[in-house]
Structure 1
Amino acid sequence: MKIAIIGAGAVGGYFAALLQESGADVTLVARGQTLEVLQSSGLRVKDAKSDRYVQVPAVASVQELPEVDVVMIATKALATSTNTEELLRGLPENAVVAITQNSVESADIAAEVVGTDRVWPGVVRGFFVHDGPAQVSYLGGPLSYTFGDSGELSQQFADILNEAGIDGIFHPDILVDVWEKAMFVEVFGGLGAFVEKQLGTLRTHFRASLEALMEEVAEVATGLGIALPSDAVERTMNFADRMPEDSTSSMQRDIADGVPSELDAQTGAIVRAARKVGVKTPLHDLIYAALSLKEEENGL
């Protein structure tokens, strides 16, 4: 199986390194300085095993890959980034697109380009950090990719992930998992950016707001026909309670640094979905409006 990973950031870089080390046929798709570093020095990887360089083949676009079976989209879902259609231009006709982005809209956007039958909605779990161009760290915790297809190709892909030390997991209703992850990642990132505080403060001083935001996500998901378990909010709050108190989200850090963030792809996606099904989300509306204004004032 030939695998391509678009994006050599925290998730894409670490997955590519483990796959390469396991003997899988994997190629990174990157650009600019990241591509230059990958091709000259390799990918620097830090984890519990070591601080090392891994040589992963890298190209500038999928058009340079005449054959590929699975393409993982591991870029951030930035409003200012290259759109999905451009990322997938030239993709071989039979290739499947595996989604890793933290947005409830990503799979639908990809499906508009290549068709629903060629898209695997998915969820990545793990604590990854992008340290710089072609530099990634894995800080522990779970290490998995959960996705929804269960055909022959997906089973082969899961086997390859497992051989690389990444848990490849099938979910019978993957959109449930996508929305449950959003319930934590989007809410934690949005509220954290809004009040400019770490998770420990969110789950104490702002606990009522944290839970109320999760309830809004659950109501939107239910309105869309997503069969979230009745205890989804309770379990997500319990998960938040177990995480390190100094945790911040990638979106939160990007907003604080004044660089392009996933605000629109994460919080904006929830707001748009709510409007679509007629669900009121006053806290999301407030946070999205306030942070959007902040980004506008920063020239983003």
Structure 2
Amino acid sequence: MVGVGAVGGWFGGSLVRAGHDVVFIARGETLDVLRTEGLRLNDDPPIPVDAVGSLAEAGPVDVVLLAVKVTAATDLPALLDALPAGAHVAVTQNSVEVPSRVAAVVGWERTLPGVVRGYYHHTGPGRVEFHGGPVSYDVGGEERVVGKLVAALNSAGVDATARDDIIVDVWEKAMYVTTTGALGALAQAPLGELRTRLRPTLEALMREVESTARANGVPLSDDVVERTLEFADRMPATATSSMHRDLLAGRPHELDSQVGAICRMAARQGVDVRLHDLLLGVLG
């Protein structure tokens, strides 16, 4: 697990509890807490875990789950420089660009694009909480490795699925989390307000993502926006995304890797995404 925040902590801790061999890559206070106190999920007793300070110290591994936030300052080549021979990189970020950025470092044959769904909160070093919604991970890539990863995650309580059309799912997730995260931060409002009071703007943002995906050759379904809005209607009204919370708290955030990625991919194809451009300019 490279990164022990919300997703890395919850997935990794769940895998350890299910009996799998997991090593966590962490730094600073998080590394100290993991070594001395363990990893705490919700209010459960701490889970003893194996934690080291760098990927080079991890030893042989099958899969590296990349669970760090990819900000404008993230150096993926440096982060993956010590990737063990034969290991694959499973992507978890909410970004339509990160899979290709990882592949530029390790090759597409070792890249496993993936999509996480669920509201996980990193509440402190070695502490993660889950606040409702799905607990799932869709992933694609090399069939043998994906099959083993999916089986391990399912045994740990994560609804994991192998998908041949994973890039479609990456864009569908972006249609939801990028739009609700950025609009939520701008309006300083949770999902319940976005899907009601601000629903026309939320839908317009989703239409921009749809147009950008299609222009880049991604075969989204005809009803993708309607399905995404229906999904939003089923989620907790108080939900906020991690990007939303990070932007309001002044922490390092994923605005560039989420909203900026849509703007860049739209610009290459001449797609008008003026609402995304506005959000990037105002929130950045």
**TM-score normalized by structure 2?**
0.97
Matched, 1:284 2:280: no
Give the aligned length.
284
Shift in Å, 1:206:
1.4
The 1-side partners of 2:19 and 2:239 are apart by: 34
Conservation of the 8 A alpha-carbon contact between 2:4 and 2:25: yes
Matched, 1:53 2:51: no
Matched, 1:32 2:22: no
Match of 1:125 in 2: 117
User: Which of 3, 7, 22 lines up with 1:7 in the alignment?
Assistant: 3
Once the two structures are aligned, what percentage of the paired residues are identical?
49
State the secondary structure of the residue aligned to 1:130. Answer: strand
Supply the AA of the counterpart residue of 1:30: A
Match of 1:212 in 2: 204
Shift in Å, 1:150:
5.4
Conservation of the 8 A alpha-carbon contact between 2:9 and 2:39: yes
The 2-side partners of 1:10 and 1:148 are apart by: 22
Supply the AA of the counterpart residue of 2:192: G
Conservation of the 8 A alpha-carbon contact between 2:132 and 2:236: no
Matched, 1:178 2:167: no
Matched, 1:69 2:62: yes
Q: How does 1:58-97 map to 2 (within 5 A)?
A: 58-81=51-74, 83-97=75-89
5+ unaligned residues in a row in structure 2: which ranges? none
Supply the AA of the counterpart residue of 2:234: R
State the secondary structure of the residue aligned to 2:45. Answer: strand
State the secondary structure of the residue aligned to 1:28. Answer: strand
Match of 1:18 in 2: 14
Of the structure 1 ranges 193-202 and 221-230, higher mean CA displacement relative to structure 2 is found in 193-202
1:160-210 deviations in whole A, cap 9, x for unaligned? 111111122011210110000000000001111112222222122211110
The 2-side partners of 1:243 and 1:142 are apart by: 9
State the secondary structure of the residue aligned to 1:25. Answer: coil
Shift in Å, 1:216:
0.2
1:211-267 deviations in whole A, cap 9, x for unaligned? 000000000000011011100000111111222222211111111111211100110
The 2-side partners of 1:179 and 1:281 are apart by: 15
Conservation of the 8 A alpha-carbon contact between 1:96 and 1:119: yes
Supply the AA of the counterpart residue of 1:76: K
Match of 1:149 in 2: 141
Match of 1:100 in 2: 92
Shift in alpha-carbon separation, 1:140–1:52, aligned structure 2, 3 A: farther
Conservation of the 8 A alpha-carbon contact between 1:150 and 1:170: no
Supply the AA of the counterpart residue of 2:71: L
Match of 2:257 in 1: 265
Shift in Å, 1:57:
0.4
The 1-side partners of 2:142 and 2:66 are apart by: 19
The 1-side partners of 2:183 and 2:134 are apart by: 24
Match of 1:187 in 2: 179
Conservation of the 8 A alpha-carbon contact between 2:109 and 2:142: no
5+ unaligned residues in a row in structure 1: which ranges? 293-300
Match of 1:295 in 2: none
**TM-score normalized by structure 1?**
0.92
The 2-side partners of 1:155 and 1:231 are apart by: 29
1:134-157 deviations in whole A, cap 9, x for unaligned? 100122322121111252222122
Conservation of the 8 A alpha-carbon contact between 2:133 and 2:235: no
Match of 1:247 in 2: 239
Conservation of the 8 A alpha-carbon contact between 1:16 and 1:56: no
Runs of 4 or more, structure 1, over 6 Å off, are none
Supply the AA of the counterpart residue of 2:64: V
Supply the AA of the counterpart residue of 1:22: A
